[in-house]
Chains A and B, each alone.
Chain A
Amino acid sequence: MKKKRRQIEGFELWLTLLGGLVLLFILAPLLNMLLHSSPASLSEALHDREVTDSIWLTLTTSMGATMVMAVGAIPLAYVLARRQFKLKRLVQGLIDLPVVIPHSAAGIAILGIISRQSLPGQAAGWLGFDLVGHPAGIMVAMAFVSLPFLINAARDGFAEVPERLEHAAQNLGAKPRQVFFRITLPLAWRSILSGLIMMFARGMSEFGAVVIIAYHPMITPILIYERFGAFGLSYARPVAVIFVGVCLLFFVLLRMLVKERSRYVRS
């Protein structure tokens, strides 16, 4: 018996070791990048208007894309969680499509529907701007590649809300709208917020699709790429470190918000 127990411990040690290696694989490049950046170079990058503007642009476009898309994505997620319909699997597959296709290819595809010849492009033209090379175009590209994160998380969140609770609310006399806003949405809120954060974070880090839609104005991932191409590693690195820091900060802050929220819901 004792021997058997020791064997399991040994096996668990192996699992931990292998898992640890994977964690190291994620951490090592980031730490290496941080350790190779001097405080002076970081401070210089922080005071570089081009850098701060690009970070600001990245944050706002990604946030904007997330908020605008949430208006339709959350209802879609609800329908996917609750209703059975023909071709549902096809729709699910379609939603995951942006994750599996190369993002440069996604960029090319999006370009086709927002260029000046397209309907949305013409509509933007009447309003006096061109979607290509515009923050609105960047938002479209970001939204395209990051939407699955929101839809899938929200769908799972809705699916976890027992349908019984909705029936109970209806039985008490609640209209569908009241059931959705007062029962289902508050109960699925944690997953939806999680999805919003993931979509926002994924949008911020997008390069491939955005670079095809809008090289300028420059979002930070493109700025890093440009500095690396034009001036080399030592110029690109501080921007990269600062941007990773900003992403992490937002990620952690928003995660904490979700946790606070859920604690509030429970108590």
Chain B
Amino acid sequence: MLEVKNLSVHLGDFALRDINIKVEKGEYFVLAGPSGSGKSILLESIAGIYRHQCSGTVHLDGADISHEPLRQRRIGLVFQDNTLFPHLTVRRNIEFSLRLNINNDRDVKSKLSELSGRFLLDDLLHRSVTTLSGGEIQRVLLARTLASDPKIILLDEPLTGVDSLQKDLLKRHLRALHRSGLTILHVTHDFDEAYSLADRMAVMHQGRLLHTAAPEAMLSRPADKFIARFCGHKNFFQAQAFNGERLVLENKIELKLKNDLLRQSLVSTLIDARKINYSKLKPSTGDNIFEGKILDVFRSPLGQELLIDIGIPISVIIDESLSHPSSQQIDKAVWIEIPQEAVKLINRV
């Protein structure tokens, strides 16, 4: 369907390097990454905006469109910022797009009513686009983009700046579009958003594509520290295993464990922050007990979260019902115990 090969773009100080993506027909593909990683530029390059600054190729349905101008690509791009035409009403915005592709007034009308019904825009059609909310803007943008009959749509942060109720509605619209067979390439900085929508996803960082996988695999087997952090894992460490029973995290912290993977020498390690035991007093018995200093303490939906320096910084989440340290206890000495079941080892790829 869409195939991007060795795409590089140089724009001033920023560069996209050697990007390769393949999106299958009918697939919902999400490109995730923090702000500034080059996601928007990648989408805009695929749509044809930077075609004079690009090297590499873009194929759509097998045809090389790398040199085709924006208007001929049949790639519908929903920009991150509001690109509704401010001098036109909602209806005129959608019609602008329809009339470029359909000559017959009756067809324009029927397509307009179909789109407006689909995106719940009937009450908004007469409105000026300058009075719409974030969610309404996105719905009109989606309708206007679909009106141009694209082969694939590219969505640039469609849920950013939208309140949570509207967000759920928009996600439903997006899933319905996906179910109707539309191919979607969606860009977001939010892992949860990617996880809830994607068939497959890729993570981008500093102009490079790091890793492509199904969302479940991305979450359960993060390929590196950056991806682990991006997926929301608190404690991801590179580790070295010795003699099938010892594991050294980041060359600093040694754990005693029983795990088949310890026969490999290099593994990645995830430690579940909720399963780490925390104590203000030194526990009398047990393995894997470390003394540390509290670096930070804050509230999280799962409880109270502590960042503790035990030689490496490690996050611990404790139930709020426990007597928890107040912020005055920053820099105080505490103890943690890392039980066997908190540790998950991942084969390094």
**A contacts, CB < 8 Å to B:** 162, 164-165, 167-175, 178, 182-183, 186-187, 265-267
Mask, B108-151, CB within 8 Å of A = 1, is 00000000000000000000101000000000000011011000
Q: Are A171 and B76 in touch, CB under 8 angstroms?
A: yes
New A-B pairs, 6, CB < 8 Å, besides A162-B81, A168-B85, A178-B100: A169-B85, A170-B70, A170-B71, A171-B47, A171-B70, A172-B76
CB contacts (< 8 Å) of B288 on chain A: these are: none
Q: A172 and B87: CB pair below 8 A?
A: no
B195 contacts A by Cβ under 8 Å: no
Chain A neighbourhood of B75, CB < 8 A: 171
A173 touches B148 (CB 8 A): yes
B174 to chain A, nearest CB (A): 19
A172 touches B79 (CB 8 A): no
B→A interface (CB under 8 Å): 44, 47-49, 69-73, 75-77, 79, 81, 83, 85-87, 96-97, 100-101, 128, 130, 144-145, 147-148
A175 to B71, CA, bound (A): 7
Taking a contact as CB atoms under 8 Å apart, the answer to whether B130 and A172 are in contact is no
| A116 to B291 Cα, complex, angstroms | 100
Known interface pairs A167-B49, A167-B70; A173-B83 also in contact (CB < 8 Å): no
Out of A167, A173, A175, which one reaches B97, CB within 8 Å? A173
Nearest residue in A to B69 (C-beta to C-beta)? A170
Q: A267, B128: Cβ atoms under 8 Å?
A: yes
Residues on the B chain within 8 Å of A173, using CB: 71-72, 97, 100-101, 148
Which of A164, A182, A186, A266 meets B81, CB within 8 Å? A164
**Across the interface, which residues of B come within 8 angstroms of A168, CB to CB?**
77, 79, 83, 85
Contact of A164 among B70, B79, B147 (CB under 8 A): B79
Q: What distance in Å separates the Cβ of B340 from its nearest Cβ neighbour in chain A?
A: 54
Residues of B with C-beta under 8 A to A267: 128
| B71: chain A residues within 8 A (beta carbon) | 170-175
A187 near B87 with CB under 8 A, answer: yes
Q: How far is the CA of A172 from the CA of B81 in the complex (A)?
A: 16
Query: Which A residue's beta carbon lies closest to that of B70?
Result: A170
Question: Which of B44, B128, B148 is within 8 Å of A266, CB to CB?
Answer: B128
CA distance A183 to B101 in the complex (A): 17
B86 & A187 in contact (Cβ 8 Å cutoff):
yes
Taking a contact as CB atoms closer than 8 A, the residue among B49, B96, B128 that contacts A172 in the complex is B96
Q: Which residues of A contact B145 (CB under 8 A)?
A: 171-172
Show 24 residue pairs from A and B whose CB-CB distance is below 8 angstroms, ordered by the A residue: A162-B83, A164-B79, A164-B83, A167-B49, A167-B79, A168-B83, A169-B85, A171-B75, A171-B76, A171-B145, A172-B96, A172-B97, A172-B147, A173-B97, A173-B100, A173-B148, A175-B71, A178-B100, A182-B96, A186-B87, A187-B86, A265-B86, A266-B128, A267-B128
Expressed in whole angstroms, the Cα–Cα distance for A163 and B87 within the complex equals: 15
**Residue of B69, B83, B147 with most partner-chain A CB within 10 A:** B83
Min Cβ gap B78→A in Å is 9
CA distance A163 to B349 in the complex (A): 44
A169 / chain B contacts, CB cutoff of 8 Å: 85, 96
Q: Shortest Cβ distance from B28 into chain A, in angstroms?
A: 20
Cross-chain contact of A174 among B79, B83, B100 (Cβ < 8 A): B100
**Cα distance, A165 to B71, chains bound together (Å):** 13
> How far does the alpha carbon of A165 sit from the alpha carbon of B49 in the complex, in Å?
12
CA distance A265 to B86 in the complex (A): 8
Q: Is the CB of A165 within 8 A of B83?
A: yes
Which 4 A-B pairs have CB atoms at the shortest separation, nearest pair first? Answer: A168-B83, A170-B70, A173-B100, A172-B97
Chain B residue nearest to A182 in the complex (CB): B96
Return A266 CB to nearest CB of chain B, in Å: 7
Smallest beta-carbon distance B13→chain A, Å: 17
Looking across the interface, which residue of chain B has its beta carbon closest to that of A178? B100
Which chain B residue has the least Cβ–Cβ distance from A187? B87
- With both chains docked as a complex, state the minimum distance between the C-beta of A261 and any C-beta of chain B, in angstroms: 11
Chain B residues with CB under 8 Å of A183's CB are: 85
Q: Which residues of A contact B87 (CB under 8 A)?
A: 186-187, 265
Please indicate the chain B residues that have their CB under 8 angstroms from the CB of A170 in the complex.
69-71
